[in-house]
Each structure stands twice: as structure tokens, then as C-alpha cells.
Amino acid sequence: MPNIDVCFSPELLHLYDLKGKAVVAVDILRATSTMVTAFAEGAANIFPVMELEECRAFAGQGCLTAAERNGIKAEGFDLGNSPFGYMGGNVKGRNIAITTTNGTRAIRMSEEAKEIVIGAFLNLQAVADHLAELGLDVLVVCAGWKGQFNLEDTLFAGALAERLQDTFSSESDSTLAASYLYQTAKTDIVSFLRQSSHVRRLEHLEIHKDIEFCLRHDVYDVLPVWRHDRLLDLRFKEVES
Amino acid sequence: MPNIDVCFSPELLHLYDLKGKAVVAVDILRATSTMVTAFAEGAANIFPVMELEECRAFAGQGCLTAAERNGIKAEGFDLGNSPFGYMGGNVKGRNIAITTTNGTRAIRMSEEAKEIVIGAFLNLQAVADHLAELGLDVLVVCAGWKGQFNLEDTLFAGALAERLQDTFSSESDSTLAASYLYQTAKTDIVSFLRQSSHVRRLEHLEIHKDIEFCLRHDVYDVLPVWRHDRLLDLRFKEVES
């Protein structure tokens, strides 16, 4: 039986052996939720990059550019980190280069893994189904907030462990903690998270609508995965290749 | 109102500013529980050191030496890491040099703090009273298991946050998580922890009696604190100095 484990911060990633594993990179507020939304809205490829300048350079290749720092859209970029900014047809068929405070880091630091999947509550079941099909050991890599533990990514890990509970073992202390916290929170995650200083900091930025949206479960069946240098939606791209 | 925060692993300690804060170093299974027991049994000073050789060198100065690696007493030392090994009069009035897999590391990495207190369920209320009196911001530093998150240290952090809830703010995500987990676990912590692979690994080493003991609350009123190069029991030593 494969195992599901949870790494609470990219700062702890060096303690885990990623080889042969499936990593689920998660940054619920808001990088991975936004990426999932972008694919649901028809984006072609997403290039997650670490630095603002690297991101800006993609504009020359016809890419849309998206950048967030400290919760706010960085100046001079096409898009920010709100999923609502990717709705309405503006990203359909487009490539997007994106850099965010925490989320892109979790993805790029996981490149040793056999598979990297982008997870969010929005595509929770699609991720669970893909992991069950792969049958690899899973490590959920929480982006956290500037290296620190955060609740929303942890709750996602607990939700995923619940979906996989019949087919995956989950005995690590971090997975147990995530599972218990999700059981406590799941009837009203929005209220649960309202106590979090991190979420309150984001609410101060008036993204309450984003937060409610990012906590919705199973809205999309998209499946963003890492291939070589980009994310693509596995629903479509494996058929084409 | 001072704040209580929780650092889940020494590997995350660089993300926190310790200056001016009170650190509570915790390694429930079993370093800090054992240190608390040693002071309750009349130990004079405890020297927590990182390396086995450094620890062994203290024998020449008339110290008892104590060493644990991977849950087992290291060969050639007077004592291991079981609190029961410190009972019955053998440590009364003695100095002890101790090195353990995780616990001593959490202490020595926190030396920038204004105060370092050794916390365990065994002396929970004594620690809470001291912190309330100090009125400094508090960071609970969980020793974890080889850098990874563990449940028992987290539960201690949640228990301490509960004791301080009227006089300390606690809004960080890690403190909220620890508090929720403690509320879930507290009616039967032994059973709660039995799911943990880490605790199961220790039980395999036949230390079940230790585990039950280390989870008992408020058994001792000792208050081990860091002074210069050693731990001493604040109940006695500040009066003498």
C-alpha cells in the first residue's frame, strides 16, 4: 500500500527523499488555486518561476506574466494572484509565466520527484484520482507562508489524506495532524481559518471573495502536472503527445 | 498582551527572531521530560551537549554522563534517556552531561533568546506560571524527530497555549493547530499518540512505561532554565545566587 506523507514547509523539504514519489504542491491562498483556475479557463502552459525579472522576460515570448509579492499584484505584470483575474476568457489558449511568494518555490524545489501535481481544494478529487492511479508514495508539499507552517495548506493535505484513506497508508505525525485538523475544520473551513493571523492579513488586502472561492471543493477536474519546464493540464496534453 | 508562538522543528528556527523572547524547549519523548525528572530527583546542574564525545569528556569532571541515539542508550555512558533511570537517588546532588538525538539541539540552537525554559507535561504549570510572570513573548521550540514535525511536542505546545490563553495572544497558524490538536487529544493522549509511527517506533523499543509517564501533567514543580552553559532548577538556584 503506498503512503501519503505531508511536508509542512519547503524549509523542511531536504528531510524527505523525493525520488520515485509523487509530490502534490499546494499553496491554497492562492498560487495553486489560481493555477488550477487558469487551466480550467483554458490556459495552455504555465511557467512557474522564482524571480520577478525571470518572469518579466517571458513577456517577450508572447506569454502573459503574473506576479504576486506579499499578497499583492506586482507592478508591471499582466496578472496577479487572484483566481478571478483569470476568468472571462483572457487566458484561453495563452501561456502564462507566474511567480508568487511561496507557491512557485514549492513547485521548483520538488523537481526531483517522479511526478509533481498541482493541488487545490478546487481540483481535490481530480488530484486524488490521479494519485490513486499512479500508486506512488505521495508527499504533499505545503508552500506555507515564507517558510512557516500554515493552516490552509495543511487542511488541504488532510482533505487529500481523507480521499485516499482506503488505498494509502498515512502514519506520519504530520499526516495525522493534517487529518485531525481537517476533520475539525471541514464543516466550516472559512470560519475555521478566520482565526488565522495569516488569513486575516490576506483579508486585510480585501481578498475575502478569493478566500471563499479557494476553499471550495471539487469545482474543476483539471490536473496540472509538471513536465520538463512547465505545468500543463494532463487531461489534454497527454492525449496530444 | 504578550504572544505565544510555536516552532514545529529546529529546522524552522531560523525563521524566528528569538531576541528578547522566552523560548520553551520541548522534547516530550524523552529529553526534556527526563531533564525535568532529574531536577525533581535533586540533580544539581545539567549540561546539554550536542556530541557524544563532548558528553563523554564531562566524566572527567565528576559528572554523570547521559546519552541517547535513535531512542537507545549509547554505550559507555552512565545514563540513558528514560526518566526512570534518574529515580531512586542516583542523581541527587550530581551534575549531569546529556546528549540526545533531538532535545539538546533544540536547547543549544535557542541560545539567542532572553530566557530558555525546559518544558514537559511533567512541569507544565510551573512553566506556564514562570512565563506569565516574565511577560515576554514566548516561542515554543519543538525538538521534533530528526527535524520533522512530531505530535507529542505539538500537543505540549497546545497544552501550554491553553494554560496561557487568558494572558497571552496566540494567532499564528502553528499555535492554532497545536491548540486544536491538544483539544482533540487531551482526554486520552496516550491513545491519540498510539497512531503515530514515531511513537510506535519508540514502543517497539519497549518504553511504553516511559511514554505514559512523560504524558502525565503537572507531576513536578521544577523549573529548569538555561544559564550561561548549563541548566539549573530556578526554584533553588536564583535564591542562592
Q: Give the start-to-end residue ranges of the domains of chain A.
A: 4-230
Tell me what pLDDT residue A237 has: 62
**Domain A4-230: top CATH class:** alpha beta
Q: Which residues of B touch A150 (CB under 8 A)?
A: 173
pLDDT digits over A187-211, tens only?
999 999 998 888 888 877 778 899 9
Q: Average pLDDT, stretch B231-240?
A: 77
Residue A236, Cβ density class (10 Å: 0-12 exposed, 13-18 middle, ≥19 buried): middle
pLDDT at A238: 54
More confident residue, A178 or A106: A178
CB contact under 8 A, B145 and A173: yes
**pLDDT surpassing 80 at residue B237:** no
Q: Which of B172, B177, B197 sits opposite A171 (nearest CB)?
A: B197
Give yes or no for a cis peptide into B94 (omega within 30° of 0). no
Per-chain mean pLDDT for chain B: 94
pLDDT at B239 over 60: no
Task: With cut-offs at 50, 70 and 90, classify the pLDDT of residue B100.
Answer: confident
Per-residue confidence (pLDDT) for residue B105, from 0 to 100: 84
* Euclidean distance between CA atoms B153 and B143, whole angstroms: 7
- Would you call A15 and B146 a contact, using CB atoms and an 8 Å cutoff? yes
Using the beta-carbon criterion (under 8 Å), do A12 and B174 form an inter-chain contact? no
Residues of chain A whose beta carbon is less than 8 angstroms from a beta carbon of chain B are 8-9, 11-12, 15, 145-151, 154, 171-174, 176-177, 180-181, 184, 195-198, 200
Rounded CA gap, B98 and B104, in Å? 8
| B173 to A184: CB separation less than 8 angstroms, yes or no | no
Longest dimension (CA), chain B: 48
Average pLDDT over residues A141-151: 94
Which residues are CB-neighbours of A23 under 8 A, at least 6 positions away?
A110, A113, A115, A116, A117, A138, A139, A140, A141
- State the CATH class of domain B4-228: alpha beta
Give the pLDDT confidence score for residue B241 in this predicted structure. 44
| φ, ψ dihedrals at B97, nearest 5° | -100, 135
The C-alpha of B177 sits at a distance from chain A's nearest C-alpha, in angstroms, of: 7
CB pairs under 8 A between A and B: 81
Contacts of A174 in chain B (CB under 8 A): 148-149
Provide the percentage of residues in chain A whose pLDDT is more than 70.
98
Check pLDDT > 70 for residue B31. yes
With an 8 Å Cβ cutoff, are B177 and A11 in contact?
Answer: no
- Cβ contacts of A69 within 8 Å, gap of 6 or more: A52, A100, A101
Picking from A149, A165, A168 by the largest number of B CB atoms within 10 A of its own CB, the best residue to mutate is A149
Question: What is chain B's alpha carbon radius of gyration, rounded to the nearest angstrom?
Answer: 16
pLDDT at A42: 97
Task: Quote the DSSP letter at residue A96.
Answer: E
Q: Do A180 and B176 touch (CB under 8 A)?
A: no
pLDDT for position A36:
98
Looking at the predicted structure, is the pLDDT value of residue A185 above 50? yes
CB spacing of A174 vs B198 below 8 angstroms: no
For residue A174, give the chain B residue with the closest CA.
Answer: B149
| Sequence-separated (6 or more) residues with CB below 8 Å from residue B85 | B34, B79
CB contact under 8 A, B173 and A145: yes
pLDDT of residue B203: 79
Q: What are B36-74's pLDDT values in tens digits?
A: 999 999 999 999 999 999 999 999 999 999 998 887 889
Q: In the predicted model, is pLDDT for residue A50 greater than 50?
A: yes
Q: How far apart are CA A82 and CA A110, in angstroms?
A: 24
Write out chain B in H/E/C secondary structure: CCEEEEECCHHHHHHCCCCCCEEEEECCCCHHHHHHHHHHCCCCEEEECCCHHHHHHHHHHCCEEEEEECCEECCCCCECCCHHHHCCCCCCCCCEEEECCCHHHHHHCCCCCCEEEEECHHHHHHHHHHHHHHCCCEEEEECCECCECCHHHHHHHHHHHHHCCCCCECCCHHHHHHHHHHHHHHHHHHHHHCCCHHHHHHHHCCCHHHHHHHCCCCCCCCCEEEECCEEEEHHHHHHHC
Per-residue pLDDT tens over the stretch A113-128? 999 999 999 999 999 9
Per-residue model confidence (pLDDT) at position B238 = 54
pLDDT tier at B201, thresholds 50, 70, 90: confident
pLDDT at B236: 80
Q: Do B148 and A173 touch (CB under 8 A)?
A: yes
What is the tens place of the pLDDT at every residue in B155-196? 999 999 999 999 999 989 999 999 999 999 999 999 999 988
Q: Which residue of B has its CA nearest to A151?
A: B173
Confidence class of residue B102 from pLDDT cuts 50, 70 and 90? confident
How many residues would you count in chain A?
241
Write phi, then psi, for A23 (nearest 5 degrees): -95, 135
What does the pLDDT read at residue A241?
A: 44
Residue B198 has pLDDT above 90, yes or no: no
Interface contact flag, A173 B15, Cβ < 8 Å: no
Give me the residue from B149, B151, B195 closest to A8, CB to CB: B149
